[in-house]
A = this chain, B = another copy of it.
Amino acid sequence: MKLLVVGSVALDTIESPAGRAEETLGGSAAFFATAASFFAPVSLVAVVGDDLDEAMLEPLHRENIDLSGLHRAAGRTFRWAGRYSEDLLRRETLFTELGVFSHFRPSLPESLRDAELVFLGNIDPELQAEVLGQVKDPALVAADTMNFWIAGKPRELERVLARIHVLIINDEEARQLAREHNLVRAVARIRELGPRTVIVKRGDSGALMLGDDSPFVVPALPLHDVVDPTGAGDSFAGGFMGELARARQSGSGVMRRAAVAGAALGSFCVEGFGMDRLVRLQWEDVSARIGALRDLMRVDD
């Protein structure tokens, strides 16, 4: 199934207890596409500035990533800088420079308008809606969002929520969106806004999937070394949607396997700065980690 992601491609500067990375390639679409590419072809729609050296995009030159929707615009590439706390549980944004992203009006190449699976990365809900309007008849649309849009563009966000099938969101944002602390009740409220399925990302506690079928929890793999959590959520979404594209279906059993694939990619992501770990993986690594996650959850009779 043809898989499309719209989101950001960015230059991230990251400080964590494990060290520092300066202007490393990141952004929701970059993490998503890299993670998804282990499972199926994926087309990336995003914009970068003319300041970006072509060599910086090298990590995205992968067999399964189609960059025909990556625009070049005059101006500076989206930049973000953040610092993680000693326990990696809190993140402080040091600066955000939207650059060319502030004027981004995505126009899908004709060849991408028949995408069957669409992921709307964490960008302005007005842009999410604009992209979605250009896709003819998608079978499944998933989206992410964040506190900034929940607080700043609630009505635009609600219009997006009404049109998507799966919301992939972190726990704090689910609580903020639903104005409810209890996650079961929060998800019930969010589902009333549109998405049939909500996947709540909970960092090192894994992810919770609630929908029409019985609830599912995929744990996070217990890791000895966590270097940089940046992009873990987008890597989860990429693994999830990539596996759906590979399986060519989205029934309950496939959704569960897709969530395990997502957790595997998320766990790799945090083991290096930016996309360092993701881009070095072989399929055998991914497959072994999916096996480790399934073993982590296995109960025999």
Contact = CB atoms under 8 A, between A and B. Distances in A.
Interface of A: 86-88, 181-185, 202, 204-206, 208, 210, 214-217, 219, 222-226, 253, 256-257, 260, 292, 294-300
Nearest to A210: B222
Given A219-B206, A222-B215, A224-B182, A253 B296 contact: no
Contacts of A86: 181
A205 B204 CA distance: 9
Number of copies: 2
A70 B206 CA distance: 41
Nearest to A221: B215
A111 to B, nearest CB: 35
Contacts of A223: 182, 184
Contact of A253 (B183, B224, B226, B300): B300
Nearest to A292: B214
A123 to B, nearest CB: 29
Contacts of A260: 299
A78 B195 CA distance: 50
